[in-house]
Amino acid sequence: MRNHFVKNNAEILAASSYVIQDPSALRGHYRDRLGAARLNLEIGTGKGRFLTDAARSFPSEGWIGLERIGSVLCKAAGALDKLRPEAALHNICLIRSEAESLPDYFAPGEIDALYLNFSDPWPKAKHAKRRLTSGRFLSIYQKILAPGAILYLKTDSDILFASSLEELPAHGWTILAQEEDYYPDTGDTSAQAIPTEYETQFRKEGRRIHMLRAQVPAGAPLPDPDNGSVPLPLKGASHA
């Protein structure tokens, strides 16, 4: 799916009520902002189909979408801003940024679940460190994830899937589930079963969808340098 440049994307994002203009100012307070005790983060939220459907399906939970491309994120923001007042979603917000900045935006233990849906696979070996399940990104996630938090991944890339199955255990993560040809059961009510825009298109093309779930290494998050405290882990930290 080709992404077209939106000339006024900066203005659209600045005017959106769903886009957090200064995400670092909310660090440690996203639960209050979204009125939710549990926070889910999707990295690479794209046009926001998964995030929006998840927010509707799990209204008691908070949903945060991170996207680095302004022209893409403005489509998600525009669709949300066009919702009628009675259909508005108050448990969702969007951030335009790179994943490397996550520790600047979220306090240790603030995020309860992480979703990586059809991330850029960076198939060339020389670009392996850019994959969102490479060791350098996993160390970033550990700085913001709550104890027991789950990483959910879906991809059509054989390379990214195989690489993730190697990288996660090598860095202390526990693989809870994996499927090379994933199709959610009819009774699956988890958020991971919610299809993304890419997933719907790939299934029409006959591509296999790979899935895995992995748990963050045991141990408390790193102390927060701002206040020296670490948020207490929440019960029911995953849908797994």
Is the predicted pLDDT of residue 226 greater than 60, yes or no? no
Residues 170, 203 contacting (CB under 8 angstroms): no
Q: Is 223 helix (H, G, I), strand (E, B) or coil?
A: coil
β strands within 109-194, DSSP E: 111-117, 145-155, 174-179
* Percent of the chain whose predicted confidence (pLDDT) is above 70: 88
For residue 158, indicate whether it is catalytic.
no
The domain locations on the chain are: 33-215
Share of the chain above pLDDT 90, in %: 79
pLDDT digits (tens, 9 = 90+) for 166-204: 999 999 999 999 999 999 888 888 999 999 988 999 999
Given this model, what pLDDT does residue 222 score? 56
User: Phi and psi (nearest 5°) for 94?
Assistant: -125, 145
117 has pLDDT over 50: yes
Q: Which of 22, 81, 104, 120 is catalytic?
A: 120
Per CATH, the number for 33-215 is 3.40.50.150
